[in-house]
């Protein structure tokens, strides 16, 4: 039997836009927290794992491009990269065409762990998405895409 989670704050709210927004934020926070707790032994956080996986797909990106891919600010990425570099997961090399620019590469250690990290994330998603149909996920994606487009328009105003 699947237990339905009830948000105690949402019980008093009647506007589904508000309750859905709260639920999205809460879900993302909990997923990150669960990941961080379970991946602690690997020296990883959700942000670090996402960075490793993005670099594994696009090695040689510069820091600015990587920050854009991850949708984070460059100073935030730099802190993440510093931590990953200290743990031996990646290295920053000068761009051969522009020595001021640093490109990001995985180390052998990170490559050896990238598949494990990806499986770990897939297992977490499988647990979270249990009981949710492909059609429901597709509808959710369409809704989120609309909301993201609305947010993009707001930035242009």
Residue 95 belongs to a domain: yes
pTM of the model: 0.75
- Look at residues 101, 103, 87 and name the one whose alpha carbon lies nearest to residue 49: 87
Residue 145 belongs to a domain: no
| Residuewise pLDDT in 10s, the chain (157 residues) | 455 566 555 556 678 878 888 999 999 999 889 888 888 888 889 899 999 999 999 999 999 999 999 999 999 999 999 999 999 999 999 999 998 999 999 999 999 888 888 888 899 889 989 999 999 999 999 999 998 899 888 876 4
**What's the rounded Cα separation, in Å, for the pair 42 and 37?**
10
**What's the rounded Cα separation, in Å, for the pair 34 and 128?**
11
**At 147, is the secondary structure helix, strand, or coil?**
helix
**How many domains is the chain built from?**
1
Alpha helices per DSSP H over the chain: 16-39, 46-57, 63-70, 74-86, 108-128, 134-156
Q: Structure tokens of 69?
A: 């891919």
Q: Which domain holds residue 92?
A: 16-130
Residue 152 belongs to a domain: no
- CATH value at residue 87: 1.10.10.10
């Amino acid at each position: 039997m699947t237990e339905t989670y009830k948000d105690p704050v949402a019980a008093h709210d009647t506007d589904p836009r508000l309750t859905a927004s709260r639920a999205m934020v809460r879900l993302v926070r909990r997923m990150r927290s669960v990941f961080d707790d379970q991946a602690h032994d690997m020296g990883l956080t959700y942000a670090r794992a996402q960075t490793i996986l993005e670099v594994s797909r696009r090695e040689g990106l510069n820091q600015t491009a990587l920050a854009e891919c991850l949708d984070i600010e460059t100073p935030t990425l730099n802190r993440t990269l510093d931590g990953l570099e200290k743990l031996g997961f990646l290295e920053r090399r000068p761009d051969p065409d522009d020595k001021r620019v640093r490109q990001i590469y995985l180390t052998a250690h990170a490559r050896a762990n990238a598949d494990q990290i990806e499986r770990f994330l897939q297992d977490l998603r499988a647990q979270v998405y249990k009981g949710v149909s492909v059609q429901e996920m597709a509808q959710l994606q369409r809704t989120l895409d609309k909301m993201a487009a609305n947010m993009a328009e707001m930035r242009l105003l």
